Structure 1
Amino acid sequence: MNRHSFVHRAGRAVVVYTAIAAVLAGCSSVKLDESQAPVSERSAVPVTAGSSAAGASGAAVENRTVVPVQTGSAEMAQPPANVERVIYFDFDSYVVKPEYVGTLEAHARFLNADRSRRVVLEGHTDERGGREYNLALGQKRAEAVRRALALMGVQEAQMEAVSFGKEKPAVAGSGEEVWARNRRVELTYR
């Protein structure tokens, strides 16, 4: 199988996975018309400390301490745990591989849960190629991840795509293993 047909098939698979995710994301919420919601009117009976209150049926209601609800905001302050924050790319490519769809879905769920969260998508390349070419390729990689997240429901205002080209390698050196680790997009939460 030649490189072109592999890239074409991988690209087609990403488009299919992305389209499926977009369709599922579009089906995930229902707008409610709150003006049609049933409302029951009840009157409040003042209760002083130490006294008992009567319920709607007139029976005594037991005095209990109210425990505050934990909203999980402390744990949501951090990016999703145990989820990879780096998406790797093939040589000279900005196609998101199908193996990263699950990772991107986890990040999309995290960002969609709190629309005030922001993520910077930092595109990187290996050392091969000119500076301008690598800056452009890094930007295309960051934009590819941004588009995938947008199709999963993340708002454009929550994302920023930037490129560092070959200027900030994850691993120093040369060789295919090193280059493969440097062809990436890092998701950095702010």
Structure 2
Amino acid sequence: MRLSPALLASAALIALAGCAKTPKAEDLPPPPVEQSQAATPTPDAGPQPGSQEHFRAAVQSDRIYFDTDQSDVDATDRAVLDSQAAYLRQYPQVRVTIEGHADERGTREYNLALGERRANAAKNYLASLGIDAARISVLSYGKERPEATGSDEAAWAQNRRAVTVTVQ
């Protein structure tokens, strides 16, 4: 009895198909994650460490204030900066910018220079407490970004400040 070539080829294909390799469990991709198993942030988790909200909640204040035409750090300012330094020690990955501000009196150039001196005074104090100066940048806005509007001592006092802002 002679078998036809087509019949032999079909038999060979069927035999080979039966010997196909079945994948092992480690070769398979992981099963899809169900929506209920996915990690979702909880709304009550609080602000992210390193964010400005977290920083403000953890320190005494994010700003210090100065007297007219002054840029020296007084005892009240040192207490605020001490709390900021403690935060920065706890979160060594956090970088900050210290923004210097002035009230509306004086020329734009004078107030930019005064704002820079104020920001640098805060930076230098933090550096004296062991915070790496490379983590702190300074920026002066002079009188360009007032906290309070008005042309009286109460408004001016709020505008003579240095504000520490976390860098995201």
Aligning the two structures, in what range does the TM-score lie when normalised by the shorter sequence?
0.5 to 0.7
Residues 120-153 of structure 1: CA distance to partner in whole angstroms, max 9, x if unpaired? 1000000000000000000000000000000011
For the Cα contact (< 8 Å) 2:99–2:140, is it kept in 1?
A: yes
TM-score (norm 2): 0.66
Structure 1 match to 2:163: 186
User: Equivalents in 2 of 1:102, 1:96: separation in Å?
Assistant: 10
For the Cα contact (< 8 Å) 1:126–1:169, is it kept in 2?
A: yes
Residues 89-144 of structure 1: CA distance to partner in whole angstroms, max 9, x if unpaired? 00000011111212111110111122210111000000000000000000000000
Greater per-residue helix proportion: 2
Residues 66-107 of structure 1: CA distance to partner in whole angstroms, max 9, x if unpaired? xxxxxxxx7634215252111000000001111121211111
- Percent of aligned pairs with the same amino acid: 40
Gaps of 5+ in 2: 1-46
Structure 1 match to 2:84: 107
Aligned AA (1:79): F
Give the counterpart of 2:102 among 113, 120, 125.
125
TM-score (norm 1): 0.59
Structure 1 match to 2:115: 138
RMSD of equivalent CA atoms: 1.9
Structure 1 match to 2:10: none
How many residues matched? 119
Aligned runs of 1:1-190 on 2, under 5 Å? Answer: 76-77=49-50, 78-79=54-55, 81=57, 83-190=60-167
Gaps of 5+ in 1: 1-73
User: Equivalents in 2 of 1:102, 1:176: separation in Å?
Assistant: 24
Aligned AA (1:159): I
Asked which structure has the greater CA Rg, the reply is 2
Residues 13-63 of structure 1: CA distance to partner in whole angstroms, max 9, x if unpaired? xxxxxxxxxxxxxxxxxxxxxxxxxxxxxxxxxxxxxxxxxxxxxxxxxxx
Structure 1 match to 2:20: none
User: Equivalents in 2 of 1:118, 1:181: separation in Å?
Assistant: 25
Runs of 4+ in 1 over 4 A off after TM superposition: none
User: Equivalents in 1 of 2:97, 2:148: separation in Å?
Assistant: 20
For the Cα contact (< 8 Å) 2:56–2:62, is it kept in 1?
A: no
